[in-house]
Structure 1
Amino acid sequence: FLAGSRLGSEEDWIQFRHQVTTLVLATDMSLHFESLSKFQTQMVTKLDKGCARIEVLGNDKGMEMAIQMALKTADIGHCAMRLGSHIYWVAKLEVEFFRQGDLERKAGHPISPLMDREKTGTTHPSNQVGFFDVIVLPLYSAFVQAFPEASPLLDQLDINYSYWKHCTAKPDYAPPILDDLHWRIMEAFESSGQ
């Protein structure tokens, strides 16, 4: 496997594997608040105090932290997509979560939050508003503080957040049916000429 690779030595591969593992583990939601707090303390605060970005990112730890945050924003990137695409991915996530909940139930395990199809799932507006309030908006706000070039993402986040807030006020709200929603999104995309 290593023979002929461009990474060089076995030590390079070990280091590469370590970095990839660290980055993937950084997307674990159980570590979210710790990671975000560390990012805000060690990166955003320094930038707010006038440190140059190159100073903050100029070492391995700073660069690793920045890449971790970029990966975390990408992991929930559907929140910053156009509304139709965002809703589509929320519905897909609910299908995935409910399948996992079914497996947990079948195995006799406690069912994880949002994974019990007998309760409200990810497509319920109040769950999305809570997700935006607690996870999405603080993460993206901190990321944009460190990387202002990403600020256009906040505009779409605001649109999507407003949609879910509007839906919480609708007593007759019904979660989207994935197949129907997918068809409507594709129809809208095709009719837009893109």
Structure 2
Amino acid sequence: LHGSSILERHHLEFGKTLLRDESLNIYQNLSRRQHDTVIHLMDIAIIATDLALYFKKRTMFQKIVDQSKTYENWNDWTKAMMMTACDLSAIAKPWEIQSKVALAVAAEFWEQGDLERTVLEQTPIPMMDRNKSDELPKMQCGFIDFVCAFVYKEFSRFHVEITPMLERLLNNRKEWNALKEVYEGKLAAIEGAKIAKEEEAAAKQAAAAAQSQSKTCIVG
């Protein structure tokens, strides 16, 4: 039915279906022109929640920010990027809030991963694998770097009042990175202890072999 943004287009069409019910149509008192404008804004806002489109539009949005004083017809692009910024806004909350939201979202992912493992007998992707929960800080750093940072950096250039959100995002990146380094330090310590144990065992085995060879030579 829909070639792209399938879930988002389903949401949009279902929303329009609900609006056909007079008891639910909150736009019924608008003029035809106002109604068309609102529906157009709905189209932009809902379809823009598809992150795949966000990645495709980033270069154009950067160009708009670079030429914001002279660029024409940038409103729809900016509104679409604003929806992405809103969708991702938990990442720009104070650390005390952001960390809780991240854990809550991760818990939902892990529940889905549990179902994939037990019901579908499939190995879930790392993000949904409860067995990899210790890697959450690393995943959050990647999420910030590859998904979130761009939109807040560009919007902070576009409007200075967005800067506090960018600053909180960067602070959250530092917090997650600190947790990531703690975990990586533990892994390194475990790996170091394992290697030391293997080297000790190898040394003992070599010493035993040398001693055995020495006894053989004496007997001979």
- TM-score (normalised: structure 2): 0.62
Label 1:151 to 1:107 Cα distance change in 2 as closer, same or farther (>3 A): same
Higher RCO (CA < 8 A, seq sep 6+): 1
Correspondence 1:29 to 2:42: no
Correspondence 1:114 to 2:127: yes
Which of 28, 51, 54 is matched with 1:5 structurally?
A: 28
Matches within 5 A, 1:151-170: 151-170=163-182
Correspondence 1:46 to 2:77: no
Q: CA RMSD in A?
A: 2.9
Report if aligned partners of 2:51, 2:84 keep a CA contact under 8 Å in 1: no
After superposition, give the CA deviation of every residue in 1:49-82 in whole Å (9 maximum; x if it has no partner).
xxx2xx54x64xx212111111111111111111
AA in 2 matched with 1:38: M
Q: Give the structure with the higher percent helix.
A: 2
Percent identical among aligned pairs is 25
The separation in 1 between residues aligned to 2:185 and 2:80, in whole angstroms, is: 36
User: Which of 1 and 2 has greater Rg?
Assistant: 2
After superposition, give the CA deviation of every residue in 1:16-65 in whole Å (9 maximum; x if it has no partner).
33431332221222223112222112x11213xxxx2xx54x64xx2121
Secondary structure of 2:131's counterpart equals coil
Which of 88, 93, 99 is matched with 1:81 structurally?
A: 93
Give the count of matched residue pairs: 162
Matches within 5 A, 1:71-150: 71-105=83-117, 106-107=119-120, 111=124, 114-120=127-133, 124-150=136-162
Following superposition, the deviation at residue 149 of structure 1 comes to: 1.9
Label 1:64 to 1:3 Cα distance change in 2 as closer, same or farther (>3 A): closer
Label 1:137 to 1:13 Cα distance change in 2 as closer, same or farther (>3 A): same
5+ long unaligned stretches in structure 1? 175-194
